[in-house]
Chain A
Amino acid sequence: MFSIVSMNSTIEVNGPRIYHTFDIFGFKFNLTETIVVQWVVILLILFIILYLTKNLKVDADTKRQAIAEKIVITFQNLIKNTMDERYSPLRVYIATIFSFSMISSLMPMIGLRAPTTNLMVTLGWALLTFIMIFINKIRTGGIKGYVASLFQPFPVMLPLNIIGDIAVPVALSLRHFANLVAGLIISQLIAFGLGALSSAVGLPFELFRIGIPAILSLYFDIFSAVMQAFVFCMLTMVYIYNADLSAD
């Protein structure tokens, strides 16, 4: 827990709340806020998808189906434009990560803690990207080609190349996490500041905390939620596409 202590009040910026700790054969498993909110996000997405794909027809006449088709086509085109046709199987994964990340980051809108403010979540996704980059390198260049690529352009570069590979998931996860945490902290600072301002002006209760934080959260929550989800997906696609060793 981090606390910012001012003259008479404290802001607390914690990690996710632990609801229960299970002891599974000596391994301590924490059922945290992050996990529960992820389930909420999954259920929400499931309901949205079920609603959108209800009664699909070849001769579409509902707005629902138009939206569902638009989403599918958007991700198909995103893969086609950023990478190429060969990577079209990735479209479902990219759609999953984008939606999961975006809806997760939007959770503060309904008062829940965003799972993306937990490093383990963004690190998990970044590790998946890392694994895919690795698989694509092996797939296109073979193990020989991959090992050889570590010694490019000079053998001396081996440590730097290894660091460069490992830096990808670290940078990806920290960027996403830090942006969302920054949003979280700024939101709380603003709420705190507005509360302090209310009492300083002499209002009987913290009037400024009503409404104003919501407007500011338009930027800090919605904009950064969409932005970070998009950035994460774009970088994932670009990294995987550039890992094609056969292109060199």
Chain B
Amino acid sequence: MEFLNTALSGIKVIAADSSFLPLVGIDIGELVITWANTLILFFIFKKLLFGRVEKVLDKRNAIEKERLLNAEKAEKEALAIKQEYEESLASAKSEADEIVKTSVSKSNKLAEEIVANAKQKADYIEKQAYAKIEMEKQKALEDLQEQISELIVYASSKVLEREVGEDDNKRLIEELLVSSQKEK
């Protein structure tokens, strides 16, 4: 250490004062106390600074991780919901198409049926009307025949009452026809 002393002193080295340690020297007591102090400070740093702050940092990291995971999960869920929605939309569209189709065909069928029914009914009514007309006609004819036969009976009785010639007969019948018409 002498070279250091000489180098530092510059001009003159005075004998060491007893109340000071030498500038460069070995003192085991100071060395041990330095170690002890360093150990104390180490535990202060470990317990009070690093222990506490790192706990908070870890907690925050965990929370952030969880948040990130949650966000990812939410995104996935949203995507799934979107897909589901799209699928249901597509199926709803096809369903609607089908409904429209079936309803159109149904209504067409119904309309056809209605028309057919109406036709049938009309036919029926027509037929009935014809039948009635025919019946009336028949009745009229029957009436006519009845009257004609009555007339013939009447005419023949008249013929039998008198002996007349052919011309007379003819005239008589004609007269009868006229009179019967007048009667009518």
Contact = CB atoms under 8 A, between A and B. Distances in A.
A1 interface: yes
Given A2-B23, A15-B20, A71-B49, A125 B9 contact: no
B32 to A, nearest CB: 8
Given A58-B59, A58-B63, A100-B38, A17 B31 contact: no
B41 interface: yes
A154 to B, nearest CB: 33
Given A4-B10, A5-B12, A96-B42, A18 B48 contact: no
Interface residues of B, number: 48
Most buried by A among B13, B37, B49, B57: B49
B25 A15 contact: yes
Which of A38, A57, A97, A123 gathers most chain B CB within 10 Å? A38
A96 B45 contact: yes
A179 interface: no
A34 B35 CA distance: 13
Contacts of A65: 56
B165 interface: no
Given A2-B13, A119-B24, A123-B31, A93 B42 contact: yes
B160 interface: no
A25 to B, nearest CB: 13
A99 B45 contact: yes
A38 B24 contact: no
A46 B31 contact: no
Interface in A98-139: 99-100, 115, 118-121, 123-125, 127-128
A181 B23 contact: yes
Contact of B38 (A2, A15, A97): A97
A96 B16 CA distance: 34
Given A2-B8, A93-B42, A96-B41, A120 B26 contact: yes
Given A45-B44, A46-B44, A49-B44, A1 B33 contact: no
Contact of A14 (B5, B15, B20, B35): B20
A46 to B, nearest CB: 6
A28 B17 CA distance: 17
B21 A35 contact: no
Contact of B27 (A30, A38, A71, A92): A30
A120 B31 contact: yes
Contact of B20 (A18, A39, A93, A120): A18
B50 interface: yes
A3 interface: yes
B174 interface: no
Given A17-B19, A69-B57, A29 B41 contact: no
B19 A30 contact: no
B62 to A, nearest CB: 9
Contacts of A1: 14-17, 20, 22-23
B53 A69 contact: yes
A56 interface: yes
Contact of A124 (B5, B25, B34): B34
Interface string A43-77: 00110011011001110100001001101110000
Given A1-B14, A3-B9, A115-B34, 18 more contacts: A2-B5, A2-B23, A3-B14, A14-B21, A15-B22, A15-B23, A16-B21, A18-B21, A35-B37, A45-B44, A52-B49, A53-B52, A92-B45, A92-B50, A119-B24, A120-B31, A123-B31, A124-B31
